[in-house]
Amino acid sequence: TLFTSTYRSAESLPNGKPYGTGMIGMYCHAPRSISCFHKLSLDEMWHFYGGDPLRLILLYPDGSSRDVILGSEPLKGHLVQFVIPANVWQAGHCMDGGRYSLFGCTLAPGFTDDIFTGGTQAELLKFYPDREKDILVYGLSGGETSMPEGFAS
């Protein structure tokens, strides 16, 4: 996934973390870019800006799952904004047949490396066997589940 941080609050919480952050990202068909399964310990607001619809795959702590389509055509069921609750596994990609999807994400308090956990195929398959196809494509196959230090700066 191509993305860049576009906003980081100058003010900080007492623990030194930013009050809020914003980023802009793009999923592409070529080169293929996706967001592998991960969860955040904070709510995350997604915004659709343009291009082709994107699919968010959500796996909830109660074992349920849902797909959300962000796009520019509400009459086709697309959403232009969606909040992913804290601790929900999420993955995303540009819809099949699309060339690119331009989106943004906002968090308050802001994004820091320590709120991120990557989802491994082995762990996710235990709790969401009915989503095996998606988990094998978007789940992490290795053991590393942390975001590299400084990645979100």
Q: Count each helix (H run) and each strand (E run) in the chain, helices first.
A: 2, 10
In angstroms, the CA 132 to CA 126 distance is 10
Which CATH class name applies to 2-138?
mainly beta
Q: pLDDT band at residue 132, thresholds of 50, 70 and 90? A: very high
User: How would you class 110 by CB atoms within 10 Å of its CB: exposed for 0-12, middle for 13-18, buried for 19 or more?
Assistant: buried
Q: Looking at this protein, which amino acid is placed at residue 110?
A: G
The mean per-residue pLDDT over the stretch 64-68 comes to 98
pLDDT tens column, 82-98: 999 999 999 999 999 99
Q: pLDDT band at residue 145, thresholds of 50, 70 and 90? A: confident
Residue 1 has pLDDT above 70, yes or no: no
In angstroms, the CA 51 to CA 53 distance is 7
In angstroms, the CA 122 to CA 129 distance is 10
Kindly list the domain boundaries of the chain, sorted by start residue: 2-138
pLDDT of residue 112: 86
Range 11-39 burial, b when 16+ CB lie within 10 A, else e: eeeeeeebeebbbbbbbbbeeebebbbbb
Q: pLDDT band at residue 148, thresholds of 50, 70 and 90? A: low
| Residue 83 tokens, joined | 């909040």
The mean per-residue pLDDT over the stretch 55-65 comes to 98
